[in-house]
Amino acid sequence: MTAREPRSPAVEARDLTKTYPRGVKALDGLTFEVAEGETFGLLGPNGAGKSTTIKILTTLAKADSGVARVVGQDVTRDPQEVRRRIGVCSPGFRAEPVGRGVGKLVAAGRLRRLDVVELRRRVSELLDRFGLADAASRKVRTYSGGMQRRLDIAMALVHRPRVLFLDEPTTGLDPEARTAMWQEIARLSRDVGMTVLLTTHYLEEADRLADRIAIVDRGRIVAEGTADQLKTELEGDGIDIELADATQAELARGVVASLPGIREVAVEQRRVTARAQDGAGAVPAALAALERAGIGVAAVSVTRPSLDDVYLRHTGRRFAEAALAASGGDA
């Protein structure tokens, strides 16, 4: 009996580079792989290069250099074959708020050249799966944001694609609708075994949905692994100190950084964060040092490692700080 040949990755990006006019570098040697049946998350703030990556992988843009393959097909040499095998839900693919829900699904199936019998069966199946059967004949403009987003994903799935690309699928949704969408996405992977590539700037979304996560910063992958693996790399505890006066933040940073056993000190507005092997033991010394320096503390807490801490470790800044600094939208 011969050993089974290893399967090719469902999605492969190798050394992708992309520079836009005026020297804006969106991708700078970005590399990752997604296994078949895996939900893979690209996590990063706007401007990190996530949407450019999706555009290249879905044949909507060309990389300056590098290789991109989807289900074994080169996106540059075989774009038609790639499009046949993928589904895409992104801001550029969302349903226009005209027409009725069932009509949108039928049109998507006809575009994919499904035969009449299969299309009728598939539309009915998707309306039921995404909880849209009762609203099928309603005009899309009457749908809630969550319903519209579910319809978008249903349209992307109508032809049973091998790989589903979800570009910021829950942006703009209220917390309740976002949670419902997370449940739908998790079910796709669990029940259907579909390969899903998800981009997001929500830390919790990546943590909950992705089997593996790649953190994207300035067009490069700076960390990759499961959420637990990434967080386990950070030894010890996090210390979060909220100052009474934000103008004392830099002074507080210096005070905390000078203490033995304290590392990775960062400042964000009136917050000073750091890591220590024993957070609970380090807090009294930190508070005493701040008091001696005349720095008021409003609150302090000890936390276990989070994806935000992982981001800080690999980029040198907090996720919220990077998101605030980003301008001009996602590259």
Domain ranges of the chain: 11-226, 235-304
* Architecture in CATH of 235-304: 2-Layer Sandwich (3.30)
State the average pLDDT for the chain.
Answer: 90
pLDDT score for 323? 75
pLDDT score for 2? 42
- pLDDT tens for residues 15-65? 999 999 988 899 999 999 999 999 999 999 888 999 999 999 999 999 999
pLDDT score for 47? 86
- pLDDT tens for residues 117-164? 999 999 999 999 899 999 999 999 999 989 999 999 999 999 999 999
Arithmetic mean of pLDDT, 163-177: 91
Res. 322 pLDDT band, cuts 50 70 90: confident
E runs forming strands in the chain: 11-20, 24-34, 39-43, 65-70, 73-74, 86-89, 163-167, 195-200, 212-217, 220-225, 237-243, 262-268, 271-276, 297-303
CATH fourth-level superfamily of 11-226: P-loop containing nucleotide triphosphate hydrolases (3.40.50.300)
Q: Which two tokens stand for residue 163?
A: 């790989």
Res. 3 pLDDT band, cuts 50 70 90: very low
pLDDT score for 242? 96
pTM of model > 0.85: no
- pLDDT tens for residues 244-281? 999 999 999 999 999 999 988 989 889 999 999 899 99
Say if residue 4's pLDDT is above 50. Answer: no
C-beta atoms surrounding 99 within 10 Å: 14
Measured at the alpha carbon of residue 259, what is the angle toward residues 258 and 260, in degrees to the nearest 5? 120
Q: Which two tokens stand for residue 223?
A: 């960390």
